[in-house]
Amino acid sequence: MCARIEIGVELEIVKTGNPVLRQQARPLTPTEIASQEIQKLIESMRKTMHDAPGVGLAAPQVGLSLQLAVIEDREEYHKEVPAEQLRERERRPVAFHAIINPRITEMSGDTVEFFEGCLSLPGFSALVPRARTVRVEFLNERGMKETLEASGWHARILQHEIDHLRGTLYIDRMHPRTFTSLDNWNQFWKGKPISESKTLAGSTLHSEHSA
């Protein structure tokens, strides 16, 4: 099923170019979810996500083509973020949860655009349009069915991680002209309104992301 995992061990995050990031991950059965192997994997992914640090991590990002992702947006991550930016992004703390075999069953027609990064593409960021709200059906770490409705930054994280399980990266959805190194983002883009960022990227900027 997957390599033997020791509980609490930090895993290696694979980088863009690894074929596993472009595969359609396979679903897990309830029996597999209950197994010691998958339970250890969830804990190890949680540790790896914290140590990165990040707010989400999908199994393909640690080299395993499985429909499993972990998410947690800790309050401590918000301390250095201006209050205005937190409000604009509708970003609030999100408790740890695992999503297994997730399926987006509904998403809002209104989209929002913010800069987004990825642990599998370190050192870069780009402006990515996402649905503002989503409804997701999934199995939790106990194999129980759940439905989650999320908005704002939590909805963005869910869409980003579910994309990973379908072989899609944020660079497939980004506004290409906004793709930037983090050093340049900090120098030229940080703190600017999205409208100004789009102007910086060029007056001809329009939605060129793939579906």
Beta bridge partners of 36: none
Instruction: State how far the Cα of 81 lies from the Cα of 92, in Å rounded to an integer.
Output: 11
Q: Active-site residue among 88, 113, 161, 196?
A: 161
Instruction: State how far the Cα of 102 lies from the Cα of 121, in Å rounded to an integer.
Output: 23
Integer angstrom CA distances of residue 56 from 93, 156, 164, 202: 13, 10, 11, 31
Instruction: State how far the Cα of 6 lies from the Cα of 9, in Å rounded to an integer.
Output: 6
Q: Is 161 a catalytic residue?
A: yes
The alpha carbon of residue 4 and the mean position of all alpha carbons in its chain are separated, in whole angstroms, by: 25
Residues classed as catalytic: 161
